[in-house]
Amino acid sequence: MLKYHNLLKRKLLPMTRKRIKVSTEEHLSELHSKKKTGTFSILYTSLWDDKCTALSARVDKWLEREGDELLYEINSWDSPAAFSMFMIMNVPALVLITKGRVRVRVEYPTVYRYFDE
């Protein structure tokens, strides 16, 4: 009975979206190992690209909305080797991973639309 009462007292918190910036080889190897079982997105950006700067504001608004998505952000300056993992040639690029299924989005309108959902 006590166990049931404790469950009733807990408040359910809304699910939140998270952004994790990847900058080390350890993070990259962790992402690579999660690729087959995890569900997450990877956003490839550049500090000097105007389109990536504009996208950053959309990502911030997207993070404020309720959801349970996990977004890893990879900057071309911090980890240029990460771009070869999915053969990314331009930025911004979005990689959607769902339990082993990999979808790469490199068209600007498609990447922007993802963050409007």
CA 62, CA 112: separation in Å to the nearest integer?
Answer: 11
Given this model, what pLDDT does residue 14 score?
56
Task: Tell me if 1 is assigned to some domain.
Answer: no
CATH of the domain at 38: 3.40.30.10
Residues 22-80 pLDDT 10s: 988 888 888 888 888 999 999 999 988 889 988 998 999 999 988 888 999 999 888 88
Helix (H) or strand (E) holding 5: helix 2-9
Please, are residues 33 and 25 in contact by the beta-carbon 8 Å criterion?
Answer: no
Domain extent for 48: 15-114
Task: Tell me if 73 is assigned to some domain.
Answer: yes
Task: Tell me if 84 is assigned to some domain.
Answer: yes
How many independent structural domains does the chain possess? 1
Number of neighbouring beta carbons within 10 Å of residue 111: 20
Task: Tell me if 2 is assigned to some domain.
Answer: no
